[in-house]
Amino acid sequence: LVVLVMVLRADRSVANTTLAVLTLISIAVAGTMVVQGFSSGSRATPAEARYVPPASAALPQLSCIDDLAGDAVLSACEKALFGSAESAAAAVAYAANQITLLISLGDVATANKGAGSDLMALRRAVERDELVILYQPKVDLRDGRVVGAEALIRWRLPGHGDISPAQFIPLAEESNLIQEIGEWVLKRVCRDYGAWQQQVPKPGRISINLSLKQLRQAEFLTRYRSVFDESGVAPSNFELEITETTLMTEAGRMVRLLDELHAMGLHLSIDDFGTGYSSLSALQQFPVGTLKIDQSFVRHATVSREDATLVRTIIEMGKNLDLEVVAEGIESQQQLDFLRSRNCHYGQGRLFGEPMTATDFLQLLLAQVRGEEGYGRMFAGG
Ligand code: C2E
Ligand code: MG
Ligand code: MG
């Protein structure tokens, strides 16, 4: 294991071809050590029990996956050597997941007969209809009613499962594919919305994420306009989410663009608010109607005084500027109670369930129309 750690540290290119074999060996060895660890019960400490993937796991490009897998194997070995039994087990599971993804992408590349760059694989995915949209309900924190949803794209890679947009959107941004994917998302969401409207009078407002590269496309406005015209669904049913960092990157240009989008009837929101560096005066120039508090602050608001203060301040600021405030990433009842006690308007998060298919979201809306309880029990206390 020590040799393997040293080899991987010295030369990452080894990872490309021999990674799968090395991983199997290391997983077997690490697995044995885990079993030993569990049976002796001597090295486990609660603090180490939750394995946090290496920071590079957040690296967005698929071409980095072999590197990520390399990191994961390395980490698994290190955990097995020096860490607790639980942390090693979690690290091994993470490494196995990265390898599965690597192998799946390898399969796609082989199927593409050598044309198999990550970008080609993604292009094929678009052609083969492997992209899907899931909807995460947005809930009114005053009464638990569903007031809309956020559309989140996934790449449903056969044999692997879903790949997160954080991994493949940056790849699409390296070419015009981002434009194609962006239009596909809008068309699909308009199509789903049209279908919901047949059965529910007001399906609520649906938000769609936009990245900087999409907004930079020369044809962006014209193309978006024509998608709305063709779909027959009014733009006022939708909200575009733009991250705080994107807004501030080219603030002057963004103001003009956002003014045009706003004039079309679209709502605009600032996503991941709190992670960028917007000034209050800049904020007032944009025709935004909503601030979405980044989930990292929400996650710690019940345990960290600093994050609690930050969340409270954003809510107050939003109210004073006449903006709606949405808290992202609500995972626990305590977080929900905290946000409600601070009069946060809206929220999203796993507490209300994982992002769901268009059909499941329609069922949720229909149940609400029938007056069924929905999320009501979580709101009983206030
Ligand atoms: P985002 O817009 O900030 O979306 C929120 C992310 O948090 C989503 O990840 C969602 O699944 C996840 N999430 C929701 N509830 C919880 C929770 O309670 N706890 C935790 N830990 N996470 C939660 P996802 O779907 O992987 O999307 C990642 C990012 O990819 C999005 O961040 C958004 O910036 C981008 N994205 C998603 N769909 C699209 C798209 O259609 N186009 C573009 N350009 N970007 C997209
Ligand atoms: Mg978003
Ligand atoms: Mg966000």
Q: Which two tokens stand for residue 252?
A: 């002057």
Task: Please report the pLDDT score of residue 58 as a whole number.
Answer: 37
Determine which residue's CA is closest to atom 29 belonging to ligand 1: 166
Least confident interval from 45-54, 103-112, 207-216? 45-54
* Distance from the alpha carbon of residue 324 to the mean position of ligand 3, in angstroms: 15
| Residue 265 predicted with pLDDT over 60 | yes
Residue written as token pair 């609520």:
204
How does pLDDT run across 44-66, given as a tens digit for each residue?
333 333 434 444 333 334 444 55
Distance, in Å, from the CA atom of 42 to the CA atom of 246, rounded to the nearest integer, reads 49
Distance separating alpha carbons of residues 71 and 55, to the nearest angstrom: 10
Return the ligand number nearest the Cα of 151: 1
% the chain with pLDDT above 90: 58
* Cα-to-centroid distance, 9 and ligand 3 (Å): 34
**What is the spatial distance between Cα 109 and Cα 154, in angstroms, rounded to a whole number?**
19
CB 236 within 8 A of CB 268: no
Cα 69 to averaged position of ligand 2 atoms, centre (Å): 27
pLDDT value of position 238: 98
Pocket of ligand 1 (CB under 6 A): 136, 152-153, 164-166, 169, 185, 209-211, 214, 241, 271-272, 295, 328-331, 348-350, 355
Beta-bridge mates of residue 162: 156
Cα-flanking dihedrals φ and ψ of residue 29, to 5°?
A: -65, -50
Which DSSP string corresponds to 134-184?
EEEEEEETTT--EEEEEEEEEEEETTTEEE-HHHHHHHHTTSTHHHHHHHH
Confidence of residue 278 (pLDDT cuts 50, 70, 90): confident
State which residues have CB under 5 angstroms from ligand 2, the bound ion. Answer: 209, 241, 271
pLDDT in tens, 139-173: 999 999 999 999 999 999 988 899 999 999 999 99
pLDDT at position 287 over 80: yes
Q: Identify which of 61, 126, 152 to mutate to test ligand 1's pocket (most ligand atoms within 8 A of the CB).
A: 152
Phi/psi class of residue 257: alpha, beta or left (left: φ > 0; alpha: ψ in -120 to 50)?
Answer: alpha
- Residues with a beta carbon under 5 angstroms from ion ligand 3: 271-272, 328
The ligand 1 atom at the shortest distance from the C-alpha of residue 185 is 41
For strands 146-157 and 161-163, give the pairing: antiparallel
